[in-house]
Amino acid sequence: MKQPDSQKMLTRRALLQAGLGVSALLASPLPALAAPPGFDQWRDSFRARALAKGISDATYTRVMGRIEPDMSVFRQMQKQPEFHEQIWQYINRRVSDWRLINGKEALRKNEALFTRIEQDFGVERGTLLALWGVESAYGDPLVQQNHMKPVFPSLSALAWNEPRRKTYWETELINALKIVERGWSTPEEMRGSWAGAMGHTQWMPEVWLNVGMDYDKDGRVSPFGKPDDALGSSARYLVNRGKYHRGEHWGYEVRGGGTASGSRTYAAWASAGVTRADGKPFPQPNASAQMWVPVSGGPSFLLGPNFYSVKSYNPSMNYALAICHLGDRIQGAPPFINPFPGSERALTLPEVQEMQTRLTKAGFDTGGTDGRVGNDTMKAVRDFQTKTGLLPADGYGGLKVLARLRQGG
């Protein structure tokens, strides 16, 4: 069932934090709350709604017959950790050494797949690599195993008792039931974030149903297992819903231009004194772009339509910039030439692992020492900052935190 345009942003990510991707899910699981009275009656009455949408009685009984709502979703919704990152911190955490190293390896292993996607859809491999890396750590099975949970108990709780977007969650629950009805997946396999996003590129059920495609020709559409369906379908999403332009780069870091605004061709920008920060020419002078200066005194960018295509995947300018920059960096591009004011370089992978090890030894549990920074590590950093008076206590694990840890706190 297609959803109205006004719900498409919710459809993609629902209530997940904008831009955090799966790294934000690496927090300790919350205990389930007891279901208040009334769920059984709702579940029985919802059967008729599902059957009217094409769900068989057998499928409904199989999935919903004995299900209990996961009431922890409401606590997740109310108590999402808040870390007020500056844009350079946001970029550093997503364009991390871990993602660069593993992104290069993911590209090496899937070169033929990315070549095929570029031929079929025109979507640059860097964009899809970055989406894959931010959304699921390149499909790391440990993320699926340790940080994902069955989606039907979560969606059932939200469809039953989330008043603000009840219709949305009811629709997504029926969408998830349709996936089982079609034989594309099983309730056991359908594990995801607390809000229901699943697989390599974190599809909500509506996206799975309406944009997903059987790109590996195995007879079903799946965001799990081989990455072919997830990446091919995500390219299709960017083209169909994000209006991706084949053959155009997302944009460029630039110099000059002052306070100029509006959309104009790269040639017109060049005539106005705007140049690429790396000194190279604009390869498509007749393509159009808009100027964006995220922070006064920081890097400036000319953004083409494909930047906003990425933004259709998650409605955050910072997210889109992180994805676009990560894709470039995986393929060998340097960091931004003009740094953000007050920024530090990102920690290397060994430095992040050292920071996590030292924090854990000091009694601040990071949930692991693999060099990936999620909510557990950010909370540990914030608690360490608070205890040692290292202000601001923003949860950002950078050079200052590592230096203090090396001094013994």
For residue 236, tell me if it sits in a domain: no
Question: What pLDDT is recorded for position 171?
Answer: 97
Q: Output the domain CATH number for residue 52.
A: 1.10.8.350
Last residue of a domain, one of 221, 249, 279: 221
73 and 216 in a single domain? The answer is: yes
Pairing of strands 275-276, 251-255: antiparallel
- How many CA within 13 A on the CB side of residue 219? 1
Instruction: State the Cα–Cα distance between residues 181 and 204, nearest whole angstrom.
Output: 16
For residue 161, tell me if it sits in a domain: yes
pLDDT block averages, 10 residues each, the chain of length 409: 37 39 39 67 96 98 95 77 81 96 98 98 98 95 82 96 93 98 96 92 96 96 97 98 97 87 94 96 97 96 98 95 98 97 96 98 94 92 96 95 92
For residue 125, tell me if it sits in a domain: no
Last residue of a domain, one of 221, 250, 278: 221
Question: What pLDDT is recorded for position 80?
Answer: 55
Neighbours of 112 (CB within 10 A): 8
Last residue of a domain, one of 221, 243, 273: 221
Overall residue count recorded for the chain in this entry: 409
Instruction: Tell me the one-letter amino acid at 248.
Output: E
For residue 90, tell me if it sits in a domain: no
Sign of torsion over alpha carbons 72, 77, 79, 82: positive
Question: What pLDDT is recorded for position 35?
Answer: 56
For residue 207, tell me if it sits in a domain: yes
What is the number of structural domains in the chain?
2
pTM (2 decimals)?
Answer: 0.89
List the domain range (segments joined by +) for residue 39. Answer: 5-81+146-221
For residue 254, tell me if it sits in a domain: no
For residue 168, tell me if it sits in a domain: yes
28 and 175 in a single domain? The answer is: yes
Q: Which residues of 353-369 are buried (b: 16+ CB within 10 A; e: fewer)?
A: bbbbebbbebebebbbb
For residue 65, tell me if it sits in a domain: yes
